[in-house]
Structure 1
Amino acid sequence: MKNLFIIALALITIQVTAQEKQKEEYKAGKERMYKRSPMNPEEAAIMQTKKMTLALDLTEEQQEKIQKINLENAKQRKAKIEAHKSMKENAGFEKLTDEQKLELKNARLDKQIAHKKQMKEILTEEQYKKWSENMEKRHEKGKEKMKAYKHKKNKE
């Protein structure tokens, strides 16, 4: 009986230690997320344009147009990250209402539609097809990551 009690106590101790380690890793991951992007929006736009040039074989004219779009998107993304960061620091993190969520989703979808339209104007038909396929792959990969994140979060 005494041995059984010692084994149960050891197992409980190991379980608690493992859960604490997971929480520490989660917090470290959050901190890394905010520190991850040392590039300014201009550098990020240049890098993204170069990657697209390699993937789609863009002309000089296409590169210039796409870089402008990428720069605008990078600036918006940076502003959004900063706003989110300051909101978290000021503890003004409130739950959104259903109407607010709907507005945000509509705005995001409108932005995606406009971006797709711009890309269709700039790229050739073959390039656009390849770009669309790449975007689909990125979207699916993002869905998988989110699914894994939610699954991990639910376990905690």
Structure 2
Amino acid sequence: MKKLIMIAIAICTIQITTAQEPNNKRNAMANLTPEEVATLKTKKMVLHLDLNDAQQDDIYKINLEQAKMRKTHMAERKARKQSGAAGKPSKEERLAIANKRLDHQIEVKAKMKKILSDEQYAKWEASMAKREGKMKHKGKKKRGNKKA
């Protein structure tokens, strides 16, 4: 009986410690500079899409632009949160943010279409769709947990 109780305590302890671990991948990426993030993302794309040197340089520029933009948005969001003005945006603000984000996505897609070959572009589109699907699924999971 004592052994059974000790095993149950050990299992509970292991579950508690693993449940409390922060998302190390997200924290590690947040500490990188935009140049480092762009380099990593470009290298992943080189491996995935088999890019040549000219394509690699062009895509690095796009990734660097996106990484810098993401870093500034994160800084702005953090500043708003610290100042206490982190309330929900109005309907008009949400619409403006969504339009800006979609315009940027369209712009990036057009740039990628110019840089990549048809086969590479199709592969890139498929990977982006898969990533988007994962992000939507992740968001639904989080929202589902908040309601419960």
Shorter chain as normaliser: what TM range? 0.7 to 0.9
- What does 1:97-116 correspond to in 2, within 5 Å? 97-116=90-109
Q: What is the CA deviation profile of residues 91-142 of structure 1, one whole-angstrom value per residue up to 9, with x for unaligned ones? A: 1112211111111111111000000000000000000000000000000000
- 1:89 Cα offset (Å): 1.2
In structure 2, what is the Cα distance between the partners aligned to 1:62 and 1:36? Answer: 24
Partner of residue 118, structure 2: 125
Kept in 1: contact 2:42–2:63 (CA 8 A): yes
- Flag structure 1 segments of 5+ consecutive residues without an equivalent: 1-20
Q: Does 1:148 align with 2:141?
A: yes
Partner of residue 61, structure 1: 54
Give the letter aligned to residue 54 of structure 1.
L
Q: Does 1:44 align with 2:37?
A: yes
Between the two proteins, what is the percent identity of the paired residues?
41
Partner of residue 77, structure 2: 84
How many correspondences in the alignment? 131
Aligned CA RMSD, in angstroms, stands at 2.2
- 1:35 Cα offset (Å): 6.8
- Flag structure 2 segments of 5+ consecutive residues without an equivalent: 1-15
**Using a 3 Å threshold, how does the CA distance of structure 1 residues 99 and 44 change in structure 2: closer, same or farther?**
same
- 1:34 Cα offset (Å): 6.2
Q: What TM-score do you get using the length of structure 2 for normalisation?
A: 0.81
Q: Where does structure 1 differ by over 3 angstroms across 4 or more consecutive aligned residues? A: 32-36
Report the 3-state secondary structure (helix = DSSP H, G, I; strand = E; otherwise coil) of the residue aligned with 1:127. Answer: helix
Q: What TM-score do you get using the length of structure 1 for normalisation?
A: 0.77
Give the letter aligned to residue 72 of structure 1.
E
In structure 1, what is the Cα distance between the partners aligned to 2:41 and 2:106? Answer: 19
Work out which of the two has the higher radius of gyration on C-alpha atoms and give 1 or 2: 1
- 1:33 Cα offset (Å): 5.4
